[in-house]
């Protein structure tokens, strides 16, 4: 038997399960988990419990300050980074310095300095860094790449892209660490990294110039007060006022949320159920961005996080016609349910309008699994036996950087009121 590839994972929260359970369950012939690392022992113990429930052996656990010792002792081939965004660069860089390859969750990091440090470390160490962009693999998103690559609408000159996060999933970013911009880079980085990556992927283009507006206009105490709200609370657990709040997350009513967060909070003060109408939110909930690409194409993009439904609408205008795609997704609270439901597609439609002909619908078969069936394909690409891919969906550190740089430039533009040249942010 050939030696299995070994993986250590840092950040054993909700998303981590996507990776370590896939390794333990679906890719055990080729891959093996060998260690967990986190600031929180209770969450690492929970991760080990899940490993055992899936027939794998528990792995040694290391507190964050013992990351180097972990690498020394278990010598993993690859480190998987699924910690809080603000910490990604630290683990990516150190893992590469200690001789490991890295798979990181999106966003690769949250600002230009950390992005530069990662790019420099890749160069200095020669290690491989992949960013786990799952949306590229959703069949409908891959289909758009195919239509554009095959010239169905000619050269694409403009894209109009609207993403809606609803009051369930969208609200979740305002309950926990994401609400502090220093942790997540705000939604233009944390969430839009997926969307800007898709545009880069669809068009085969890189962003050049970015202008953005963004504001907190719905969540937060001030906005709630303006709407006449009078009942406030800091966190849902133990609060009378939270009982009637549609936006409250009740950790004690969900076994998994309770085990992972409520029972773990005594260790690190991570409160997963804060009020979305509390003080101290420094991220935006309403954003508008325009981008010019190196192909000269233009993007108009909008994101808001208190929508009645979840999904997106995108239109591509080219020299031979127009493509429109509408996708409605299931909304999902991270760790609060079946992970396969994350980004699962409830409805979708792709229409091609050739300039002088009747429009026609393009049918795409959706597969089982999260992100419209994209997640299992991504996992096979990471841990299984990847097949040759005409669409080059495996995302490198350069793709990871390009996708966050639009949002990072957008954040700078929001601060300064000026357009930002992406080339001024980092050197490749």
Ligand X SMILES: NC(=O)c1ccc[n+]([C@@H]2O[C@H](COP(=O)([O-])OP(=O)(O)OC[C@H]3O[C@@H](n4cnc5c(N)ncnc54)[C@H](O)[C@@H]3O)[C@@H](O)[C@H]2O)c1
Tokens encoding 17: 């399960």
CB atoms within 10 A of CB 387: 9
Q: Which is nearer to ligand X, 79 or 147 (CB)?
A: 79
Binding residues (CB under 6 A) for ligand X: these are: 10-16, 38-40, 43, 64, 82-85, 87, 105-106, 134, 190, 334-335
Q: What is the DSSP letter of 136?
A: G
CB of 104 to ligand X, least distance (A): 8
CB of 176 to ligand X, least distance (A): 6
Residue 12 neighbours by CB under 8 Å, 6+ apart: 20, 36, 37, 38, 40, 43, 44, 46, 47, 82
Do 143 and 361 contact (CB within 8 A), yes or no?
A: no
Residue nearest ligand X by beta-carbon distance: 13
Residue 228 neighbours by CB under 8 Å, 6+ apart: none
Tokens encoding 374: 């994209």
CB of 134 to ligand X, least distance (A): 5
CB of 194 to ligand X, least distance (A): 7
CB of 351 to ligand X, least distance (A): 27
CB of 191 to ligand X, least distance (A): 8
What are phi and psi for residue 139, nearest 5 degrees? -55, -40
156-166 vs 129-131, strand pairing mode: unpaired
3-state secondary structure of 302: strand
3-state secondary structure of 119: helix
Q: Which is nearer to ligand X, 66 or 229 (CB)?
A: 66
For the chain, state the CA radius of gyration. 21
Q: Which is nearer to ligand X, 285 or 323 (CB)?
A: 285
Q: Which is nearer to ligand X, 147 or 171 (CB)?
A: 171
Q: Which is nearer to ligand X, 39 or 164 (CB)?
A: 39
Tokens encoding 175: 């309950």
* CB crowding 232-251: b at 16 or more within 10 Å, else e: bbebbbebeebeebebbbbb
CA distance 172 to 163: 16
CB of 414 to ligand X, least distance (A): 20
CB of 225 to ligand X, least distance (A): 28
* CB crowding 255-293: b at 16 or more within 10 Å, else e: eebbbbbbbbbeeeebbbbbbbbbeebebbbbbbbbbbb
Number of residues in the chain: 428
CA 81 to chain centre: 12
CA distance 400 to 403: 5
Tokens encoding 142: 């891959």
CB of 170 to ligand X, least distance (A): 13
Q: What is the DSSP letter of 254?
A: S
CB of 90 to ligand X, least distance (A): 7
Do 312 and 196 contact (CB within 8 A), yes or no?
A: no
In order of 175, 181, 224, 281, the CA distances from 231 in angstroms are 17, 26, 10, 18
CB of 64 to ligand X, least distance (A): 4
In order of 61, 88, 159, 205, the CA distances from 278 in angstroms are 35, 27, 36, 40
Q: Which is nearer to ligand X, 190 or 195 (CB)?
A: 190
């Amino acid at each position: 038997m050939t030696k299995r590839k070994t993986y250590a994972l840092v950040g054993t929260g909700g998303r981590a399960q996507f990776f370590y359970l896939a390794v333990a369950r679906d890719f055990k012939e080729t891959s093996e988990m060998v260690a967990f690392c986190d600031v929180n022992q209770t969450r690492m113990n929970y991760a080990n419990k899940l490993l055992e429930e899936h027939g794998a052996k528990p792995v040694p656990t290391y507190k964050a300050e013992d990351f180097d010792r972990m690498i020394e002792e278990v010598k993993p081939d690859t480190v998987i980074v699924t910690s809080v965004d603000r910490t990604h660069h630290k683990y990516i860089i150190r893992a590469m310095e200690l001789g490991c390859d890295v798979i990181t969750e999106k966003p690769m990091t949250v600002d230009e300095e950390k992005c530069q440090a990662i790019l420099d470390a890749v160069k200095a160490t020669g290690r491989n860094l992949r960013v786990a962009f799952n949306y590229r693999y959703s069949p409908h998103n891959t289909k758009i790449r195919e239509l554009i690559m095959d010239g169905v609408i000619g050269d694409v000159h403009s894209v109009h892209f609207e993403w809606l996060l609803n009051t369930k999933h969208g609200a979740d970013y305002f309950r926990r660490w994401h609400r502090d911009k220093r942790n997540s880079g705000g939604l233009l980085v944390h969430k839009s990294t997926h969307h800007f990556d898709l545009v880069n992927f669809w068009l085969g283009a890189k962003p050049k110039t970015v202008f953005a507006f963004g504001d907190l206009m719905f969540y937060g105490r001030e906005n709630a007060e303006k709407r006449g709200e009078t009942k406030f609370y800091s966190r849902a657990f133990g609060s009378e006022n939270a009982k009637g709040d549609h936006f409250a997350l009740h950790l004690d009513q969900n076994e998994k949320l309770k085990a992972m967060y409520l029972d773990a909070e005594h260790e690190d003060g991570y409160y997963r159920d804060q009020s979305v109408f509390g003080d101290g939110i420094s991220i935006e909930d309403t954003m508008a961005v325009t981008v010019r690409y190196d192909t000269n194409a233009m993007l108009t993009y909008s994101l808001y996080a208190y929508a009645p439904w979840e999904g997106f609408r995108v239109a591509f205008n080219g020299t031979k016609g127009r493509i429109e795609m509408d996708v409605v997704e299931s909304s999902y609270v991270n760790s609060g349910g079946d992970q396969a439901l994350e980004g699962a597609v409830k409805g979708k439609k792709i229409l091609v309008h050739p300039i002088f002909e009747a429009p026609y619908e393009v049918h795409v078969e959706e597969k089982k699994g999260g992100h419209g069936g994209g997640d299992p394909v991504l996992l096979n690409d990471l841990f299984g036996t990847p097949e040759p891919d005409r669409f080059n969906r495996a995302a490198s550190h350069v793709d990871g950087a390009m996708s966050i740089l639009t949002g990072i430039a957008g954040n700078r533009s929001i601060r300064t009121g000026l357009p930002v040249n992406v080339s001024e942010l980092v050197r490749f």
